[in-house]
Amino acid sequence: MFSNIRWRIAIPYVILILAAMGGLTLYLSRLARDTQLADLEANLLIGARAVAESAVPLLANPEGDALDALAREWSALLEARVTIIAPDGTVLGESHEDRSQMDNHLTRPEVQQALAGGQGSSIRYSETVNYDMMYVAVPVTTAGGERLGVVRVALPLDQIEENVSRLRQTIFTATLLTAMLAAMIAIAIAERTARPVRRLTELARRMAAGDLDARLYRAGRDEVGELARAFNHMADQLRDQVQDLVTERGRLAAVLENMADGVIITDDVGRVRLINPAAARLLSVGPADSAGRSFAEVARHHHLIELWQQGCSQGQERVATVELDRQGTFIQMIVTPLTSAGVQTCLVILQDLTRIRRLETVRRDFISNISHELRTPLASLKAVVETLRDSALDDPPAARRFLDRADQEVDALTQMVQELLELSRIESGKVPLRLSPTAVASVVAPPVERLQTQAERNSLRLVAELPAGLPLVLVDADRVQQVVANLVHNAIKFTPDGGEIRVTAEWQPGQPEVVVQVRDTGVGIPAGELERIFERFYKSDRARSGGGTGLGLAIARHLVQAHGGRIWAKSREGKGSTFYFSLPVADGTGQGDS
């Protein structure tokens, strides 16, 4: 309680005032007592001298109790005790006591002094009255100088003591009042001084709790006011800096949150301190429950853990590409040891290389495929040309057959080059679509009709059955015919004699797209290949032996996607395949197909 500033200021004040007033009380009471004693002594001396003068004739001839009577007379006058003593110390007259009972008074100090030097005084405790008494004595001397005795006058000091004690009490009361007043003033002053300090403390607490807009108003011109202004200034600076930091942190968090690369920071004991969503996604963990766990628990892959351990423990950056066996994902991992403020942490960056790897594979496959595709017709051409040169020219019918073969090979090459060019133009967006509301029948019927002969040649039944009530679709009819032709052509190729190919379409009222299906009863596609058949040059091993470039489905996919649709396939090996693609319904066109 007394540790606060109010009491720290007030208590010394009060102690100081009490000490000063105490000293003053002592000094004043002593001074008052001394002055009163001096006055009393002077008065008693005058009285004693008067008694001495009147006692001269009786002392010259002492007789009976005359001196007792004189003592009593003066005692009544002076209101003091009067004693007349012979030069040998015998008491000759006494106002208050029985003289016969009194001892010799020669040894009394005031009597000694009076006999020696003309007057004497002494203060002693009197058993008779239980008070200190003042005794004053003067010698009784004749005109001739003969010493006849000593007159002593005495008064108790109770009155003086009483006066002094009253004075002391008054001063004490005044001291107490003054001390109380001083304490109140001191408390008020201390309170005034402490209030701004308290406000500052409160402000600092609010700021520490996060209220950075808290300020101190009504700052005076004194030192505390200066302090308050400096504090406000500091608060402004602090708020600005904190805001800058918050903005900076927000930016960094947004970058970390949205960056494609995974970022993980581990602490000196290998616990994950930070993990961004990309890293959590790559490692298939939840970002919330990963923080605080060990890196090994989060990574769960021995190559990643080894690399991280090497990078962190050896203090050297490590880079490696790791294939996560879980999803066939390729990750490039960069481990960078960081040391800040003497604490060793580790930064791990994970880059998803899966897409790049896949693109690389596609590119490699593309080159290998195109070389392969070119080599077969070229080899065949070469063989034809060599045969012609060596012998066949002499046999015109054989020469014509070889020339026909050569012509077919050149056609196949030309088709492949054309398809490649087409694909590259579609892929690069150089084929503009002329969209118009079109009946589904207009895009399905023409290619089916065109391929009918080829189907019949292969003893296949090719039918197109469109339900009634299909809406118009918003398409470039030529391009969609190309897609249908491609799918039907494939169906013919991959369906053994006697099979059936059926082209239909489906639409649910209210749906934004019509789905066209090309179903065959052919060889089917293995489940593992279904995903890949839409890639450029992809051909199943079975198909390799036959014709075809492996580009048809890639072109079909690009064309469908350019219309905003999707293309996919379902198949059961040995049972047949169904290819589906969707076309967008033309808005507000009503029903135009039948």
Question: What residues make contact with ligand ADP under the rule CB under 6 A?
Answer: 490-491, 494, 520, 522-525, 533, 538-540, 543, 548-554, 577
Residue 222 or 531 having the CB closest to ligand ADP: 531
CB of 21 or CB of 464, closer to ligand ADP: 464
Cβ atoms of 323 and 333 closer than 8 Å:
no
**Least distance to ligand ADP from the beta carbon of 525, Å?**
5
CB of 537 to ligand ADP, least distance (A): 8
For residue 499, give the 3-state DSSP assignment.
coil
Minimum CB separation of residue 523 from ligand ADP in Å reads 5
Which residues, 6+ apart, have CB-to-CB distance to 30 below 8 Å?
Answer: none
Smallest distance from the beta carbon of 489 to ligand ADP, in angstroms? Answer: 7
Quote the distance between the C-alpha of residue 281 and its chain's center.
Answer: 26
Q: What is the DSSP letter of 138?
A: E
Under DSSP, the state recorded for 135 is E
| Nearest residue (CB) to ligand ADP, 283 versus 554 | 554
Write down the least CB distance from residue 358 to ligand ADP, Å: 18
Residue labelled with tokens 């109380």? 180
Nearest distance from residue 250's CB to ligand ADP, in Å?
49
Among residues 144, 159, 154, 92, which one has the least CA distance to residue 122? Answer: 154
Q: How far is the CB of 581 from ligand ADP (least distance, A)?
A: 13
- CB closer to ligand ADP out of 95 and 549: 549
Task: Rank residues 78 and 569 by Cβ distance to ligand ADP and give the closer one.
Answer: 569
Residue (93 or 524) nearer to ligand ADP, CB: 524
User: Between the CA of residue 328 and those of 131, 284, 298, 359, 540, what are the distances in Å?
Assistant: 120, 13, 18, 14, 22
**Minimum CB distance to ligand ADP, residue 543 (Å):** 3
Residues in Cβ contact with 559 at an 8 Å cutoff, skipping those fewer than 6 apart:
426, 479, 480, 482, 483
Which residues lie across from 371 on neighbouring strands?
Answer: none
Closest CA to 592 of 427, 470, 484, 465: 470
Q: Which is nearer to ligand ADP, 51 or 491 (CB)?
A: 491
Nearest CA to 178 out of 19, 32, 9, 7 is that of 19
CB of 540 to ligand ADP, least distance (A): 3
Q: Are 224 and 196 in contact (CB under 8 A)?
A: yes
3-state secondary structure of 521: coil
Q: How far apart are CA 569 and CA 480, in angstroms?
A: 17
CA-nearest of 363, 358, 296, 361 to 327 is: 358
Q: Looking at beta carbons only, is 351 or 549 nearer to ligand ADP?
A: 549
Residue closer to ligand ADP by CB (options 438, 486) is 486
- Residue 529's alpha-carbon distances to 83, 367, 534, 538, 566, in angstroms, are 151, 20, 10, 9, 18
Residue with smaller CB distance to ligand ADP, 303 or 570: 570
**Smallest gap, in angstroms, from Cβ of residue 473 to ligand ADP?**
23
Residue 403 contacts residue 387 (beta carbons within 8 Å):
no
CA distance 273 to 345: 9
State how far the Cα of 416 lies from the Cα of 433, in Å rounded to an integer: 23
